Amino acid sequence: MSSEATVRPATATASLRSVPFDALTAGQLDAWHRLRADNPALSSPYFHPGFSAAVHASGRPVQVVVGYDDRDAISAMLPCHRERSLLRPAGWPAADFQGPILAPGTSFPPRKLLTGGVRGYAFDHLLDTCPDFAPWVESRQQSPFVDTTGGLDGYLGRASRSGKDNMGQARRRTAKAERELGAVRFQADVVDEESLRRVVELKRGQYASTGARDYFAEPDRHELLTRLLHTRDTEFGGVLSTLHAGPHLLAAHFGIRSGGVLHWWFPVYDPRFSALSPGWILLRELVVAAPVLGIARIDLGRGDDEYKRRAKTGETVVCQGVVTASGTRKALRHARNSVVAAAKSSPLGPGLRRVVRTLRALNR
């Protein structure tokens, strides 16, 4: 075994070296897998090297900061993008879990990222398991998940009263959809580029109607999803689930999975059928199918959406902030965050949506 592949847990990361993703050696990739396997907190598919590989291949260069201990053994991996003087997590702005890949108890030196002209490392979904980043954390938020162990019966035994009620309503609305629209068909994992195209179309419509930034305005984002759709590795890949009633696509979801974890990434539904709550029907079908698919957890991603609050069985904490040595940058971000928080809580909040989006773009 090469010295690069040697991984020793519970150690200190003494030095960092940056490597383009496609220049990683077999030993470095092996170390990535070993470090992740040693840390159950890194079970999300975002921490699998397959995600960074797909992002890199879709046209957004990924560089990997490789950490070494004082014996020159690999102790950490951090995939990221460089945008001028700023580093961002690989897959940003749609990477719902971020942070260094390292064994439990291993330290990581964030300030050592600030070299070679890099002035900051910005994160918005940093897993709250690496205390070395604490000085730069500006806020923390909950990222809910659904424990699907035991399928629907297991879920109902753990769910809140609201979650149980909504699952019951989803069952009744399934019957209604069948009466009014035709046979209901659920496909848990289908490779279908036309259905994926429809997911992107519906998602862009949702962005437009809510005033949110259009993630798919950049062409490489569709390329990323298409590449993930065709990634069929047993340990990592894209998952496209569809729900039809008669000839109609009621709802669909495109996510990524690794092992027993599915990340709920791009859920959509056809607004024409909103009265049927097709999103809940789709989620219920996925929970039912989870044991057959080998899925034990569905991560719903950070956000205060009502359906997430109702459906969740637990939560993970993710952090927002920026590693920087600049007091000015920190002060500007603090001021920006204060204004954004005030705008969101103001009775005039809806009218300030454009201002909030502009402020969020500052100092990134």
Can you tell me which residue has the tokens 């590795």? 233
Tell me how far apart the alpha carbons of residues 233 and 24 are, in angstroms, rounded to a whole number. 19
**Mean pLDDT across the chain, nearest whole number?**
90
Q: Cα separations (Å) of 279 from 16, 33, 173, 273?
A: 44, 34, 11, 10
Of 322, 246, 237, 251, give the one whose Cα is nearest residue 282.
251
Tens digit of each residue's pLDDT (9 = 90 or more) over 129-153? 999 999 999 999 999 999 999 999 9
Please check the confidence at residue 225 and state whether its pLDDT lies above 60: yes
Whether residue 278 contacts residue 249, with contact meaning beta carbons closer than 8 Å, is answered with no
Token couple for 364: 């990134």
Instruction: Tell me which H or E stretch contains 177.
Output: helix 161-181
Radius of gyration for the alpha carbons in the chain, expressed in angstroms and rounded: 21
Q: Cα separations (Å) of 264 from 182, 256, 315?
A: 27, 7, 14
Query: Is the preceding omega at residue 93 within 30 degrees of 0, hence cis?
Result: yes
Tell me how far apart the alpha carbons of residues 185 and 199 are, in angstroms, rounded to a whole number. 17
Q: How confident is the model at residue 9 (pLDDT cuts 50, 70, 90)?
A: very low
Whether residue 55 contacts residue 90, with contact meaning beta carbons closer than 8 Å, is answered with yes
Of 217, 214, 18, 222, give the one whose Cα is nearest residue 121.
18
Please check the confidence at residue 345 and state whether its pLDDT lies above 50: no
Which residues are CB-neighbours of 290 under 8 A, at least 6 positions away? 148, 151, 296, 298
> What region does 214 belong to: left with phi over 0, alpha with psi -120 to 50, or beta?
beta
DSSP conformational letter for 11: -
Averaged pLDDT for residues 148-171: 97
- pLDDT score of 351: 55
Token couple for 111: 């300030």
Token couple for 124: 């918005």
pTM for this entry: 0.89
Instruction: Tell me which H or E stretch contains 358.
Output: helix 353-360
Please check the confidence at residue 90 and state whether its pLDDT lies above 90: yes
Q: How confident is the model at residue 340 (pLDDT cuts 50, 70, 90)?
A: very low
Tens digit of each residue's pLDDT (9 = 90 or more) over 291-315? 999 999 999 999 989 999 999 999 9
Other beta carbons within 10 angstroms of residue 128's beta carbon come to: 17
Residues in the chain: 364
Whether residue 254 contacts residue 265, with contact meaning beta carbons closer than 8 Å, is answered with yes
Whether residue 99 contacts residue 108, with contact meaning beta carbons closer than 8 Å, is answered with no
Tell me how far apart the alpha carbons of residues 109 and 276 are, in angstroms, rounded to a whole number. 50
One DSSP character per residue, 214-226 reads -GGGSHHHHHHHH
Whether residue 76 contacts residue 7, with contact meaning beta carbons closer than 8 Å, is answered with no
Tell me how far apart the alpha carbons of residues 188 and 170 are, in angstroms, rounded to a whole number. 17
Q: What percent of the chain has pLDDT over 70?
A: 87
Tell me how far apart the alpha carbons of residues 78 and 98 are, in angstroms, rounded to a whole number. 9
- pLDDT score of 364: 42
